[in-house]
Structure 1
């Protein structure tokens, strides 16, 4: 039996895996930096929680509108070049934000437009990258590869917000300029991956059947549907990231540096769990552990919403990130490990709407609810709703609750 350490060494001897991991780290780093900068910039211009929520909506709309075509493209074209082109588009969006900040713009609408451009890039990059990873490593190493790649982008999520907060002290132009350069480098790295599929996917005509095939596949797999929809609802209801500028400015009084630290904490928890899972992978009771992790995520969110102490807030976000990492590990192992390669792009596109876009839609939901009842009550309500969802999903998806092993 192969040990976790030897599996890790085998992965890192793989040049394409190293390039993939570096590209994921860099693009995640740039994304986290610009999210902090955009959030603080928008709130500084408007002092409106609803305006922060609209930022999430602007990022969400491209993902849901582009999902059918982006999945088809990922299954019929070179996934490396799709991802490289998408991150090049993100580079241009960062250049646009840099120019807007440099010129001293005061309206938030150009910011929303550029966030939409970023969302288009993510909509095409996400399914392409998700579908590419299983083709770069042996199937028996895939679970470990998921953990290591997750630790790469979670590490970026630790460094990125803090770095974004520090650079924002020098002005938003500094953050956007550095992010543009990092996105460009990430685009070059993913384009340099040498892998070519042995049998290129057929480039058939685009039909409704081909576009909706990913959704049809997910609906026919109860465990996959349960895992994806659970993450969707939990993040949609329990996410508090959009409101962190308000907590940093008005509740905890820690400024942009504190905001960067708060945004880093979920990733700190996630990285710690990712490292643990790399050496102690889940072997049994995957479904129940997924449900327990989502419940813990909701509980930690409640604590954060009630806290007025900076260190308690940091700790609760750390626990939330640790719990979320377990969810990511189980979901990605199940979804990508069991999906045929010819379908991975379309399934990943649907998954990106359910998971990735739920973060942005959750930001809109949080901002809207906070505008009505206040930031802290909105976060507490979302955490309690997530606890309820974890209990309900165990009944709605008994196959998920009964799932023992990750890959069968």
Structure 2
């Protein structure tokens, strides 16, 4: 029985390490509030403007700081104490949530929301790659894949609980309550960051700046396996992510139900949670290049079918299948990157990884909102999923080294 559990369920050995356990717990609790705020922001903007275009415009507003500060923050993480950097950047994210709370109680301005999202994204763009660069310093190398899986699992769990909590809160109170709860929950992240040991740079230190960023980009461009793992993820998020369409879907197909909006917002992450729990098989897949291509195509097809589903339960279930595929993809891509990179480069490479992972969905928001305004809800939703499934095979199988890649080769 123990052998069967170890083969099929998530490896929990990293939680025996106190520093990693606190970091994971702080991330898990704080991410619930972060997702709660994301749902509230989308709903508040739609409430003010009645337009998916403006909801989609939050994509580029968040994308610019994610790109700039993700790259810069990764370079800084290689040149200073990562504990201190994580704490400072987390304080910026927390301050942005306070600004959203004040705005919801007073002005209710879309422009204030955009400014707060910009600051929040800036802090998140620095803290996320820094946190991922810290993980290999806290756990042994052989436990890095398990630690990555747990991180994605609890982030996905937060992505389920946050939107579901958001649906309940928005149906019973108002936007300010959502932001207030986020501000309280985020103190767990601040505490976990404070309790970390000092994490001074190892190896050769490169001063943060264009040269350091260029070194990280050069490393990626000369590694086809890593480069293609980024490319297929951009295809998945930019073409198929339907997140910006959830308010319109809830309004048009499900009679404006707040519960439906919360369920749609949580559905992808729900599938990711299931994928994380039953992730014991993930590490045994050898041909990860082909496997990445297949699971991302599955993501696109699941999204397309969800756009055609009439019952709420079926739409949620299909999006959950896509979330399962997305979790598996994320674990493989993160592990490939972390095991390739030396510590003195890890922050910069995690910065690029973060830009791709966090920036791709923002491009997806912009694509979804713009195409929905031009062609309607269903063509934007279904067409994006089908385009993803077709494009990922064209991209993922076009490079021989990625197509033939095996773990350890």
TM-score, structure 1 as length reference? 0.94
Q: What is the aligned partner in structure 2 of residue 250 from structure 1?
A: 252
Please state if 1:136 is matched with 2:138: yes
Is the Cα–Cα contact under 8 Å of residues 98 and 177 in structure 1 kept in the other structure?
yes
Aligned residue for 2:117? 115
Change in 2 beyond 3 A, CA 1:304/1:82: same
Q: CA deviation at 1:36?
A: 0.6
Q: Which residue of 2 aligns with 1:211?
A: 213
State the Cα deviation string for residues 111-168 of structure 1 (Å, max 9, x = none). 1111101110111112101111121111111111111111111111111110111112
Q: How does 1:268-283 map to 2 (within 5 A)?
A: 268-278=270-280, 281-283=283-285
Once the two structures are TM-superposed, the CA of residue 205 in structure 1 deviates from its matched residue by: 3.6
**What residue is the counterpart of 1:284 in the other structure?**
286
Query: Does the aligned pair in 2 maintain the 1:161–1:264 contact within 8 Å?
Result: yes
- Aligned partner of 2:367 in structure 1 is 365
Query: Offset at 1:5?
Result: 4.5
Residue 70 of structure 1 contacts residue 349 of structure 1 at CA under 8 Å; is this kept in 2? yes
Shift of 1:276: 1.4
Whole-Å Cα distance in 1 between the matches of residues 143 and 285 of structure 2?
Answer: 14
Aligned length: 404
When residues 254 and 401 of structure 1 are mapped into structure 2, their CA distance, relative to the original with a 3 A threshold, is farther
Say if 1:375 and 1:272 are closer, same or farther in 2 by CA, change over 3 A. Answer: same
How far does residue 369 in structure 1 lie from its aligned partner after superposition?
1.2
SS of alignment partner, residue 253 of structure 1: coil
Indicate the residue corresponding to 2:327 in structure 1. 325
Match of 2:67 among 64, 82, 99: 64
Show the counterpart of 1:28.
31
CA distance in 2, matches of 1:247, 1:81: 42
Q: Give 1:114-193 correspondences, 5 Å limit.
A: 114-169=116-171, 170-193=173-196
1:378-406, CA deviations, whole angstroms, 9 ceiling, x for partnerless residues?
A: 1111101111122112332222221222x
Cα distance in structure 2, aligned partners of 1:280 and 1:220: 26
Contact (CA 8 Å) 1:268, 1:318: kept in 2 or not? Answer: yes
1:50, 1:9 → 2: CA distance?
Answer: 42
Is the contact between residue 65 and residue 118 of structure 2 (CA under 8 Å) also seen in structure 1? Answer: yes
Q: How does 1:306-385 map to 2 (within 5 A)?
A: 306-385=308-387
- Alignment partner, residue 101 of structure 1: 104
How large is the RMSD of aligned CA atoms in angstroms? 2.0
| CA offset digits 1:154-206 (Å, max 9, x no partner) | 11111111011111231101000110111232122122122635x64555444
- The one-character-per-residue Cα deviations of 1:265-306 (angstroms, maximum 9, x if unpaired) are 111111111111146633322222111100100101111122
Answer with 84-93 or 112-121: which moved more: 84-93
Which residue matches 1:92?
A: 95
The offset of 1:9, in angstroms, is 5.0
On the 8 A contact 2:59/2:366 being kept in 1, the answer is: yes
Return structure 1 stretches of 4+ with deviation > 6 angstroms.
none
- The separation in 1 between residues aligned to 2:159 and 2:358, in whole angstroms, is 14
Contact 2:78/2:206 (CA < 8 Å) preserved in 1?
no
Q: Is there any run of 5+ residues in structure 1 with no aligned partner, and where? A: none
| 1: CA distance, partners of 2:254 / 2:203 | 52
State the distance in 2 between where 1:270 and 1:68 align. 26
More off after superposition, 294-303 vs 248-257: 248-257
Q: In structure 2, do the counterparts of structure 1 residues 24 and 299 end up closer, same or farther at CA, with 3 Å as the change threshold?
A: same
Contact preservation (8 Å) 1:148, 1:278: no
Structure 1 stretch displaced more, 116-125 or 274-283? 274-283
Q: Given the superposition, is the C-alpha separation of residues 123 and 302 from structure 1 closer, same or farther in structure 2, using an over 3 Å criterion?
A: same
Give the TM-score of the pair, scaled to structure 2: 0.94
Structure 2, unmatched stretches of 5+, are none
Q: Is the 8 A contact 2:202 2:343 kept in 1?
A: no
Structure 1 pair 201–92 and aligned structure 2 pair: CA distance change class (3 A): farther
User: Contact 1:147/1:278 (CA < 8 Å) preserved in 2?
Assistant: no
